[in-house]
Amino acid sequence: MSTTDAAPPFLYRPPTEPWLVVLHEDDEILVLSKQSGLLSVAGKPAEHADCIESRAKAEYPQARIVHRLDRETSGVIVMAMNAKSHRHLGLQFERRKIGKKYIARVWGAVTQDRGVVDLPLTCDWPNRPKQMVDVESGRAALTEWEVLEREQGATRLSLSPRTGRSHQLRVHMLTIGHPIVGDSFYATGAAFTSADRLQLHAESLTLHHPSDGKLTTFTDPCPF
């Protein structure tokens, strides 16, 4: 990344309007819409205390975080409302029983209509928190993708990760030559500067409801 298109130094200014968007709530789960720019959980510095977990707990003290979305990623996130549901949901994530669908705008023209990226990932320690492909010692990571729309200079994709590795979608798209637009870690030049946020949104989450095991889908319309 050149000096002209490098990301500015990180200054945490999370969005405050709306403060908390509740998509669904019941005795077992709390489903929220996380905004781009808001941390899922608090960071170590005091100025990084504001996050969707703390906002949720202010209104729902019993709510417990189950999974995370990257700060720059928006979309559906679920929290557990009691210890039993927390275990139930945690096992679903661990055993890959959760269905996740993301919308992404990637740089360039994707020629195929659909495909699969099956490349293991590991932390790029000298450049953490960045991740990288490591076919020898990386952890298995698989992403299915499908073209939704071809735009001028970009392609809108539906992404279905079958694993939940850190930065998985961002690195997998970079690896096939199409970084996600607005990605401050992996995009360069116009691919980075042509959007004011990471163009990645967790559109839907499908899970077995802890109360009865019924398969339930929660959706949050893509904002870009």
Query: What is the Cα–Cα distance from 56 to 64, expressed in whole angstroms?
Result: 9
Q: Which helix (H) or strand (E) holds 170?
A: helix 168-175
Residues identified as active-site:
70
Query: What is the Cα–Cα distance from 220 to 21, expressed in whole angstroms?
Result: 10
217's CB contacts (< 8 A; 6+ apart) are 99, 204, 205, 206
Q: Tell me the β-bridge partners of 105.
A: 156
Q: Tell me the β-bridge partners of 25.
A: 30
Tokens describing residue 166: 């850190």
